[in-house]
Structure 1
Amino acid sequence: MKSKFDISKETKENMAETIMEYFATERGEDIGNLAAMLMTDFIIEEIGPIFYNLGVEESKSYIEEKLDDMYGIMK
């Protein structure tokens, strides 16, 4: 399945390295690159859209607030 997000290979590799570091530091577990890449894909596909949608909602609220301000100065 293709990701809804266009993430470069380098960025995905950096994300996987961060996950590997997290497991090593916080859990004392060494996970391999494959496991880290699978977790990265899971986060991108399943969790990423939640944060994306929150960002869209916050942006919409911000724009609506600024539009209300703009309409408020109309004469």
Structure 2
Amino acid sequence: MPIELPEDARAAAIASIQRYFDTNMDEPIGNVAAGGLLGFFLEEIAPAVYNRAIADAQERMQARIVELDIDLHEEPFQYWRKFESPRRRK
């Protein structure tokens, strides 16, 4: 599944790449070259980041699922306990 950005996010990413080059490199980068670099990053590197994010989300969800038993557990057969006196309970 290719990772794609919405048009506004893609434009902002290209502008950010251009700004990075202007600030940190000896030569600026044009709009087309920045778009090509972004495309490379999205195809080559983004899947690793995406997969890590999915694994992190799965881990957090699994932890929450384990907590459901603790948070939502109800003891069965408690109806008659409310009628027992404290000394008769066993």
Superposition TM-score, scaled by structure 2 size: 0.72
Superposition TM-score, scaled by structure 1 size: 0.84
| Aligned with residue 72 of structure 1, among 37, 56, 70 | 70
Question: In terms of mean alpha carbon deviation, does 31-40 or 9-18 score higher?
Answer: 9-18
Q: Please state if 1:24 is matched with 2:17.
A: no
CA distance in 2, matches of 1:43, 1:64: 30
Give the helix-richer structure, 1 or 2: 1
Q: List alignment gaps of at least 5 residues for structure 2.
A: 76-90
Count, aligned residues: 73
The aligned counterpart of 1:4 is: 2
Which structure carries more relative contact order (alpha carbon 8 Å, separation 6+)?
A: 1
Q: List alignment gaps of at least 5 residues for structure 1.
A: none
